[in-house]
Amino acid sequence: MSNRKEDILETATRLFNEKGCMKTSTRHIADELGINVGNIYYYFKNKEEIIIHIYETYMESISGFLKSIKDEVDAPFDYYALFSNQMEYEKKCAFLRLEISNLYKTYPKIKEAIEKRVMEKAKELKSLFLHQMKYGYMTPLDEYELNYICSNTWVIGSQWELYWIFIKVDGQKLRKLQGILNLLYFLKPYHTQKGLEKSDLLDSIKYIQKEIDNIS
């Protein structure tokens, strides 16, 4: 990716977070960079394409973790690494979480991208859980329950911060740690004794709890 394209994406992300995505135009982005708006259109047709690129990059980062273990490899999955990465990216691109509903309703191509990527992530998450069941790290689940475990993981992973904001937990770092615990505690009961012994899940929970105690 060219430096100019990176500059556009970084500046757009910052302005979307500061001013709101719906209130930021390509003109605002160009003015902030000190360039002609035509320079932006050389790389992106419109603001919608900029948002999609940022969103796609975020979703690809999640895919990289979900598909990190090959089917033939017997290994536990590192959920802490996945959730930490996800939440760090969400902090960087907070506008996606805060304005996703409006973006979904306003921009047809963004709506299409979101629907496509969410379906992909559901399949990747399901494949990951099936892999963990295959090698005895998770308890066997029928198709119906497995589908709901996948959807619940996604729902918790996308709504964690709002909950902690509503109950007055101050500080992004503290909310992030609580959010990771939400997901780890949700998945813990679905792990076998082998899964708990071989994975870092229990150690991750202890580490996060200690970090929370140090902050509180």
Q: Which residues of the chain have pLDDT under 70?
A: 1
Q: What is the pLDDT of residues 99-133, one digit of tens each?
A: 988 999 999 999 999 999 999 999 999 999 999 99
Provide the H-helix boundaries in 107-142: 108-134
Q: What is the pLDDT of residue 1?
A: 60
Calpha distance 48→112 (Å, rounded) = 12
Q: What is the pLDDT of residue 123?
A: 95
What are the tokens at 179? 């959010």
Own/partner contacts of 87-93, CB < 8 Å, gap of 24 or more, are 87/160, 87/176, 87/179, 87/180, 88/176, 89/58, 89/61, 90/58, 90/161, 91/172, 91/176, 92/13, 93/13, 93/16, 93/17, 93/54, 93/58
